[in-house]
Amino acid sequence: MMKTLALATLLSIAMSAGSARAEELKIGTSADYPPWESVDAAGQIIGFDRSVGDEICKRIRATCVWQNQTFDGLLPGLQIGKFDLVMSGISINAERAERVDFSTAYADAPASVVVALGNAAASAKSAAELVAKLGSAVIGVQTGTTHEQVIRAHFPKADVRAYDRPDQIADDLIAGRIDAGLMERAAWDPLVKAHGAGKLTYAGPLLNSSDFPEFGKGQGIALKKGNSALRSRIDAAIAAMRTEGAIKAASEKWFGYDVSAK
């Protein structure tokens, strides 16, 4: 009898382990925001979030399936069950936390305003001076981002233009169709170098939640409301990765500097 019970226990443990290994998680991302995420020549999603996300899935013994989606459709897709997780440089803020749950922050990256060379806002030394110098400027942002929230909340005279992709903001800025753009600094860097060399420049200081609270509390992984068991597993993985320096290493690979949450 004891041997039978022992065998049953072992089978149960094996089945549980097999079930854990077989768990599949659909991760939604907007792969148009390098170095956070982009699509390579082979059509594969790559970037900082992909590296961190794959490591998290490995640690929680889940198989990740990444799905590309426009940014403004990510959280609605999560809410209706299209995704199990959303990982796309999403800033944790109060408005979003009313709709979805968030993991603990894994990154905390600053944002910047970019203008054309010769724009007076380029000399701004503070966030307040940026607001004053841009005045009623036409400002480009990516739809559904905290950057859009910041402009609408703190640049009351601005004409806000919302775009699906960051490269569209840079192109319209170069073409003179908008006066400025706001996005995360690391997303700007390749666009300023590739598209705007000799045409675009950074304006004002690096910006974060101490300047505008809409920027939130760092970047986290979004989950459907109430999925506390999965969130706990992810939080434990993030904590271990932060302690071990794994997120720092991934950020230095993709950004060239440390954006890991402290």
Q: How far apart are CA 134 and CA 143, in angstroms?
A: 20
Q: How far apart are CA 30 and CA 15, in angstroms?
A: 35
**Total tally of structural domains belonging to the chain:** 2
Residues 209 and 184 in one domain: yes
Model confidence pLDDT, tens digit, residues 221-251: 999 999 999 999 999 999 999 999 999 999 9
Residues 102 and 118 in one domain: no
pLDDT of residue 22: 55
Q: Would residue 260 count as lying in a domain?
A: no
Residues 6 and 104 in one domain: yes
What CATH number corresponds to the domain at position 197?
A: 3.40.190.10
CB 21 within 8 A of CB 78: no
Residues 182 and 57 in one domain: no
The amino acid occupying position 107 is A
Q: How far apart are CA 131 and CA 215, in angstroms?
A: 16
Q: Would residue 261 count as lying in a domain?
A: no
Q: Would residue 262 count as lying in a domain?
A: no
Q: Would residue 235 count as lying in a domain?
A: yes
Q: How far apart are CA 130 and CA 115, in angstroms?
A: 11
Residues 123 and 194 in one domain: yes
Q: How far apart are CA 71 and CA 31, in angstroms?
A: 9
Residues 172 and 211 in one domain: yes
Residues 85 and 161 in one domain: no
- Kindly tell me the sign of the dihedral angle through the C-alpha atoms of 54, 55, 56, 59: positive
> Could you list the residue range(s) of the whole structural domain that residue 233 is in?
2-108+217-254
Model confidence pLDDT, tens digit, residues 27-64: 999 999 889 999 999 999 999 999 999 999 999 999 99
First to last CA, the chain: 54
Q: In terms of Cα–Cα distance, which of 215, 214, 222, 183 is closest to 200?
A: 183
High-pLDDT (> 90) share of the chain, %: 76
Q: Which two tokens stand for residue 152?
A: 């609408």
Q: How far apart are CA 68 and CA 217, in angstroms?
A: 25
